[in-house]
Each structure stands twice: as C-alpha cells, then as structure tokens.
C-alpha cells in the first residue's frame, strides 16, 4: 500500500506539472517556466513514480517467500553449483525433461523444493504493473482535463478519452484487489521432496505446507501421471492429455487455515513399479507431478501442480556415469 500510494502521488504530481506547463496555465502557482525549479519538481515526481512502481512490483514478486525460505536460499546458495556439477544431468537421457528447476531450489524441511507450473506471485506482479501503468496514464489525462476546465477551455475529445481510460483503470484496480485478497486468504503452497533421482518402484518422502486464512472443505495431495500428444488436424494444432496414474497420497475432509499456522504434513510417495518414466519428444510427453487440490468454503476449487521427473528403471544415473567414465579408453597421440 505504501509503494502504491507513492506511485499515485508521483503520477498525479508529474501529470499536473506537465499539464500546467504544456497547456500554459494562467495560475501563478503553476506557471514555473522551464527553469531550475521546474526540473527539480520533475525529478522529484519521477523518483516517486519509479520508486513507488518498482517497489510495488518487487513486493508483489516476493509474495509467498517467507523469511525462513530466504534464509535457506542464502545458506545453501554456495552449495548449489557443487551439487549440480556432481549430479548427472538429464542430458545423459535426451528424452527426459530438464531438471534444472528441481535442483536449484533448496527446501527448508527436505532437500528440494518443487517449482509450480503457475506462480501466483508473477500473476500478481503482472496485474500490479498493468494497474500502475494504466492508472498513471489515466491520472495524467484527468489532471490535464481538469486543468483545462479550470482555465475555461473544456476539451470534449479529451473528456471522452478520460472516461473510458478511467473505466479500464477501475477494472484493473478491482482485479488487482481481487488477486491480493485471493493470495491473502489462500497463501502459497510449498511442496518439498527428500530425493530427486526417482525411479519406478522407489519411494520418497514429501513435505507439504499450505498457508492462508480460510476454511477448506476438502484438501488432497495426489501423485499424477499424464500422457500428452500434440498433433495437427487440418490447420489447427491440438493437444490431447490423458491421466493414466492418479494415486491419493493424503486427503483431508475439512482444514482450517489460520494466519501464522500453516497446515503442514509429511507423507511418503511411491512410484509404481510398472509405471512409465518421464518422457519428452516433439509430439509426445509423459508428465509426472504432485497435485494439490482444494475446495475453499464458498469459493471455487483450485489445483496447483508441482512437476517431478521419474528416471528409467535400472542402475542409478550416477552409477552408470561412473562405469562409463571408467571404461572409456584413453586417446592415443601419435
């Protein structure tokens, strides 16, 4: 709220200053000319505009990142490069998706924190950026229109432009408030796993934390595998997806989320022995993920997906890489 008000203050001040200079206001208080005082006011108003807008977007991006989370990132940041160099990457399996996003984020309770397909922080940041930009333009146009009206020069064209601009600005403010309310009531979902090189038949410990301030009628964590096919039908490109594995890991009938007291638990996740490993090609994919499903009291159900990678059965990739490096003959230089 502080950064938002700072942005609006800078937008209104800069708009009023520029409008008075451009329109040639007859008011002695607004007629500054283009001297030193004018540019000082432009610099101050622009600083309010930039600091307010940048601070608001930065604060929106940090939604869902707790102090403990930032501390864990800072402590383990030094070890991330060493870990990624020691672990064989999926490039040794060209048909597997990249696991860069799975190993570059340390967890608080377990080893790795899983990324999500859709980040509410980015959605909120995009809504905040659009709202600030559009409302700033609408505020500048409104100040110009009011300044001309006070000078007795009512511009019908400008007035007809200001009205729809403020209609869109009002909608953007409403949408931003709705996004902020949604994130406040239903906080971020954190899913962490104890190990990353999962194979069919292996089990892994999973940690889940759901924060917020709302009553949930139903809450579930599921292990899901989907097959996806991309094909061309005429001039259209279609994507078909079929769920082949859906294993409930934990289900709760009613969950009450309280501020500062997230709902959290640990459970085990076992990959079926006969399951297909992760796969990715130009037209087909096999996607494994942990799905969090919830139905808020009086709200719409939501689902958040956290992808995982299942490697093929057999020796571990680390062992296979070690055997390959040992058996590799040395080059003979003649």
Of the listed ranges 155-159, 245-249, 284-288, the one predicted with least confidence: 155-159
Q: How far is CA 284 from the centre of its chain?
A: 26
Q: What's the mean pLDDT in 135-163?
A: 76
DSSP 253-319: S-EE-BTTB-EEEEEEEE--TTPPPPEE-SSEEEEEEEEEEEEETTS--EEEEEEE-BPPSSS-HHH
Beta strands in the chain (DSSP E): 112-113, 186-193, 203-212, 215-233, 236-252, 255-256, 263-270, 279-280, 284-296, 302-308
- How far is 234 from 245, CA to CA, in rounded Å? 31
Query: Which pLDDT does position 333 carry in this prediction?
Result: 41
Query: Which pLDDT does position 119 carry in this prediction?
Result: 59
Structural contact between residues 302 and 191, judged by C-beta atoms closer than 8 angstroms: no
pLDDT 10s digits, 106-119: 888 888 888 876 65
Query: Which pLDDT does position 225 carry in this prediction?
Result: 92
User: What's the whole-number average pLDDT of the chain?
Assistant: 75
More confident residue, 208 or 315: 208
pLDDT 10s digits, 177-211: 877 776 667 778 889 999 888 888 888 999 999 88
> Which CATH architecture does the domain made up of 67-111+194-316 adopt?
Sandwich (2.60)
Of the listed ranges 18-32, 87-101, 112-126, the one predicted with least confidence: 18-32
Domain ranges for the chain, please list them.
2-61+122-184, 67-111+194-316
Query: Highest mean pLDDT: which of 63-77, 146-160, 313-327?
Result: 146-160
Express as a percent the part of the chain with pLDDT over 90: 10
In this predicted structure, the answer to whether residue 224 has a pLDDT above a threshold of 50 is yes
More confident residue, 93 or 30: 93
């Amino acid at each position: 709220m502080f950064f938002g008000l700072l942005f609006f203050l800078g937008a209104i001040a800069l708009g009023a200053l520029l409008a008075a200079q451009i329109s040639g206001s007859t008011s002695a208080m607004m007629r500054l000319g283009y001297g030193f005082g004018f540019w000082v006011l432009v610099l101050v108003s622009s600083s309010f505009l930039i600091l307010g807008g940048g601070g608001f977007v930065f604060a929106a991006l940090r939604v869902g990142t707790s102090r403990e989370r930032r501390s864990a990132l800072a402590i383990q940041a030094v070890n991330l490069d060493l870990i990624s160099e020691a672990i064989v990457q999926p490039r040794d399996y060209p048909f597997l998706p990249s696991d860069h996003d799975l190993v570059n984020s340390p967890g608080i309770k377990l080893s790795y924190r899983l990324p999500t397909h859709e980040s509410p922080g980015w959605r909120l940041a995009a809504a905040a950026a659009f709202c600030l930009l559009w409302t700033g333009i609408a505020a500048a146009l409104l100040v110009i229109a009011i300044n001309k009206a006070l000078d007795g020069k009512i511009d019908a064209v400008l007035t007809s432009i200001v009205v729809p601009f403020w209609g869109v600005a009002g909608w953007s403010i409403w949408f931003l408030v709705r996004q902020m309310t949604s994130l406040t009531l239903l906080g971020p979902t954190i899913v962490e796993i104890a190990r990353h090189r999962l194979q069919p038949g292996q089990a892994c410990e999973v940690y889940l934390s759901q924060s917020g301030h709302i009553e949930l009628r139903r809450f579930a964590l599921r292990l899901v595998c989907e097959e996806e096919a991309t094909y061309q039908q005429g001039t259209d490109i279609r994507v078909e997806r079929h769920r082949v594995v859906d294993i409930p890991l934990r289900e709760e009938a009613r969950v009450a989320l309280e501020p500062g007291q997230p709902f959290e638990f640990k459970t085990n996740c076992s990959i079926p022995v006969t399951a297909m490993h992760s796969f990715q090609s130009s037209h087909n994919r096999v996607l494994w993920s942990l799905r969090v499903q919830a139905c808020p009291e009086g709200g719409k159900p939501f689902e958040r997906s956290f992808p995982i990678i299942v490697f093929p059965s057999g020796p571990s990739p680390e062992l296979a890489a070690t055997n390959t490096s040992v058996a590799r003959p040395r080059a003979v230089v003649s």
